[in-house]
Amino acid sequence: MNMVWSPRLTSGVTVSLTQTFVASKIAEDVLLRCVSKPEENNLRGTPVVIGNIEDDFHSLGRRIVGSFLRATGWEVHDLGNDVTAEQFVDKAIDVGASVVGVSAMMQTTALNIRKLRNLIDIRKLNHQLKLAVGGAVFNWRPELVAEVGGDGTARNATGVDALFQSLRDAAKGG
């Protein structure tokens, strides 16, 4: 990552959120062109489901996380913004995912993740379906992970591969 975004190159430079977003879109496109598809490289090829929880429309972080997961060989099913608990669980079952990654930027929307945790528990899927939570609010309030029923979080996109591997292994009893 330092090769792409070196602090020496940006020292004293102000970069807007829009510039960061455009740069991330370019990087995503380059990654997708350079990294073979999971079915071709069979690095992991494990299906995962990601999306922003109901009422959350902040897609930048989720899209970056999806790019990192794809680059490391995961089969990513991105449901987009404003995804209900039922949509997450149904898609995870449909594709055979053992990890669902849920994003929320604000505490008010992060609390909606409880609905997803409750649905996972009600359907008795808690041993086979793990819940990764992420977004800015979890960096500011790490205790929120437990409050919403998350099984884990990563501080940033570079940590999601290790987190998802750990949760996948836990779901498979390993």
Does 5 reside within a domain? Answer: no
Residue in the structure block whose two tokens are 């959350």:
56
Q: What's the burial of 12, exposed, middle or buried (CB within 10 Å: 0-12/13-18/19+)?
A: exposed
pLDDT in tens, 4-59: 554 555 566 777 778 877 877 787 777 666 655 545 544 458 999 999 999 999 99
Does 76 reside within a domain? Answer: yes
Domain of 127, in residue numbers? 13-171
**Is residue 51 within 8 Å of residue 109, measured between CB atoms?**
no
Residue 50: what are its φ and ψ, rounded to 5°?
A: -130, 160
Cα Rg for the chain, rounded, in angstroms?
16
pTM over 0.85: no
Does 27 reside within a domain? Answer: yes
CATH number of the domain to which 106 belongs: 3.40.50.280
Q: H-helix or E-strand containing 77? A: strand 75-78
Does 6 reside within a domain? Answer: no
End-to-end CA distance of the chain: 30
Does 2 reside within a domain? Answer: no
In this structure, the dihedral spanned by the alpha carbons of residues 31, 36, 39 and 40, taken in order and rounded to 10 degrees, is 180
Does 3 reside within a domain? Answer: no
Q: How many domains does the chain have?
A: 1
Does 45 reside within a domain? Answer: yes
CA max distance for the chain: 52
- Report residue 2's pLDDT band, with 50, 70 and 90 as the boundaries: very low
pLDDT in tens, 148-168: 999 999 999 999 999 999 999
